[in-house]
């Protein structure tokens, strides 16, 4: 499955770096006492996003696409988004519902992937377009929450519903896939 030589490829090192940025973001956000402090946390989120963008390019250009990297990248995405959504619960009413939708969908996807691995010996093929779109929209929305902490409540609600809708749509997209797997059991 994973080979020892794959541990220290440039794209995988970027993935590890993204995971290490998660506690840095959490620390900066929780200890933010001003808008400037919040922008420091946003800078860490942007750095994570830029690293995410370049690790994929590096993997293809350097011919370093690995099974470890294919698993590491979505883990870094989920940890980052989960941390941001969780942190925003502290300051924005309603984020607990978005966090719940996020957790339920991620657990559902994890169980589906584990089932696929057990039945087929492999995980589901990479993320569908809707999953990538949901991740991108959620990243951008979280960035707006950090960039404009005093945004009007109506905009906050719109962005939370948009993210929750995209996350839910992604989970629903995989229902037929998981039903087909369940029939094989």
Cβ-contact 18, 72 below 8 angstroms: no
Contact 78, 30 (CB under 8 A): no
Residue-wise pLDDT for 109-127, tens only, equals 888 878 777 776 666 666 7
Task: Return the percentage of the chain with pLDDT > 90, whole number.
Answer: 61
Answer left, alpha or beta for residue 121, where phi above 0 means left and psi between -120 and 50 means alpha: left
List, in order of start, the domains of the chain with CATH numbers: 4-184 (1.20.120.1760)
Query: For residue 33, what are its two tokens?
Result: 């006492």
* Token pair 């989970």: residue: 171
CB neighbour class for 171 (10 Å; exposed up to 12, middle 13-18, buried from 19): buried
Question: Model-level pTM?
Answer: 0.88
Model pLDDT for residues 125-184, shown as the tens digit of each residue: 667 889 889 999 999 999 999 999 889 999 999 999 999 999 999 999 988 877 776 666
38 pLDDT higher than 80: yes
The percent of residues in the chain predicted with pLDDT above 70, rounded, is 92
The mean pLDDT value for 16-30 works out to 97
More confident residue, 38 or 175: 38
**Average predicted confidence (pLDDT) for the chain:** 89
pLDDT for the residue 185:
59
For position 122, what pLDDT does the model report?
A: 63
Q: What is the mean pLDDT of residues 11-39?
A: 96
- pLDDT given for residue 14 in this prediction: 94
Q: Given pLDDT bands bounded at 50, 70 and 90, which one contains residue 2?
A: low
């Amino acid at each position: 499955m994973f080979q020892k030589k794959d541990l220290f490829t440039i794209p995988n090192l970027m993935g590890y770096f993204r995971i290490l940025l998660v506690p840095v973001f959490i620390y900066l956000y929780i200890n933010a006492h001003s808008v400037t402090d919040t922008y420091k946390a946003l800078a860490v989120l942007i750095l994570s996003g830029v690293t995410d963008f370049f690790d994929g390019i590096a993997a293809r250009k350097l011919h370093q696409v690995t099974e470890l990297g294919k698993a590491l990248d979505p883990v870094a995405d989920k940890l980052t988004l989960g941390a941001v959504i969780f942190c925003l619960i502290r300051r924005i009413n309603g984020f607990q519902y978005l966090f719940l939708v996020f957790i339920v969908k991620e657990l559902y996807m994890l169980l589906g992937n584990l089932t696929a691995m057990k039945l087929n010996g492999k995980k589901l093929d990479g993320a569908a377009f809707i999953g990538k779109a949901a991740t991108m929209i959620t990243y951008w929305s979280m960035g707006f929450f950090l960039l404009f902490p005093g945004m009007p409540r109506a905009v906050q609600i719109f962005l939370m519903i948009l993210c929750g809708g995209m996350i839910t749509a992604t989970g629903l997209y995989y229902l037929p896939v998981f039903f087909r797997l369940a029939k094989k059991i």
